Homo-oligomer: A and B are copies of this chain.
Amino acid sequence: MQHAKPLPSLFAQRYHGWKATTHADNAAWYRRLANEGQRPKAMVIACCDSRVHVTSIFGADSGEFFIHRNIANLVPPYEPDGAQHGTSAAIEFAVTALKVPHLMIVGHSKCGGVQGCLDMCSGKAPALEETSSFVGRWMDLLRPGYERVKDTFPEDQQAPALEKEAVLVSLENLMTFPFVREAVEARTLSLHGLWTEIGEGDLEYYDSIERRFLPV
């Protein structure tokens, strides 16, 4: 790989600072984690967005969260077709090998992926409709959510509504995975739907009795 560049010095400096403080203070614990293997408390599926910082929000230490991050925190339906499904592989590993007790889907406000889906489905972003658009094809997963939102909310409320639908669609798709359904029914796994407002730092969870998101 002739194109790889060294680490920029700013990141190198910060790394050395981390090594001399956080790592030095916790070296014994990190060595145990390395030697004995991870045993995370939860799998988290969150968006790639740089403003969503799940380890910070939940005060998670090294070893606590098995984290998959993709555009708009989406889970595709179960499709064992031999294709390369990165999200499904991560869920399979977390649930069948690591046997995580919790799986949290974390959506968020101002999500660029969800906005793209809204634009695409409402005809405002024809480029996203093209076969070659990876973002467009990925956001196809959220079309069922758009169908539920488009006639229910006025236009200016559709984005946050669709962000929450992204969490619900993912929770629904999770249950189509046999190993997820089995673990949920055996009560060895519980699922959680969350949405965070990134400016104010608010956090809501999906309440399956009230059938809506409520403040944590």
A interface list, Cβ under 8 A from B: 1-43, 48-51, 53, 55-71, 74, 76, 80-94, 97, 99, 101-102, 104, 109-110, 112-113, 131-135, 137-141, 168, 171-172, 175, 184, 187-194, 197-201, 203, 205-208, 216
Contacts and interface: CB of A to CB of B under 8 A. Distances in A.
Contacts of A24: 20
Contacts of A112: 37-38, 93, 97
Given A17-B14, A198-B33, A199-B31, A66 B38 contact: no
A35 B93 contact: no
A35 to B, nearest CB: 7
Nearest to A17: B17
A211 to B, nearest CB: 8
B80 A51 contact: no
User: Within the oligomer, what is the number of copies of this chain?
Assistant: 4
Given A86-B87, A132-B80, A205-B6, A56 B18 contact: yes
Contact of A199 (B19, B33, B137): B33
Contacts of A68: 48, 69-70
Nearest to A214: B6
A7 B198 contact: no
Contact of A20 (B17, B76, B184): B17
B83 A83 contact: yes
Contacts of A200: 27, 30-31
Contacts of A48: 43, 66-68, 90, 93-94
B172 A1 contact: yes
Given A18-B56, A30-B51, 10 more contacts: A1-B175, A3-B171, A5-B25, A7-B216, A23-B201, A29-B101, A34-B198, A40-B50, A59-B59, A80-B131
Given A2-B208, A92-B134, A216 B15 contact: yes
Nearest to A135: B89
A58 B59 CA distance: 11
A134 B97 CA distance: 12
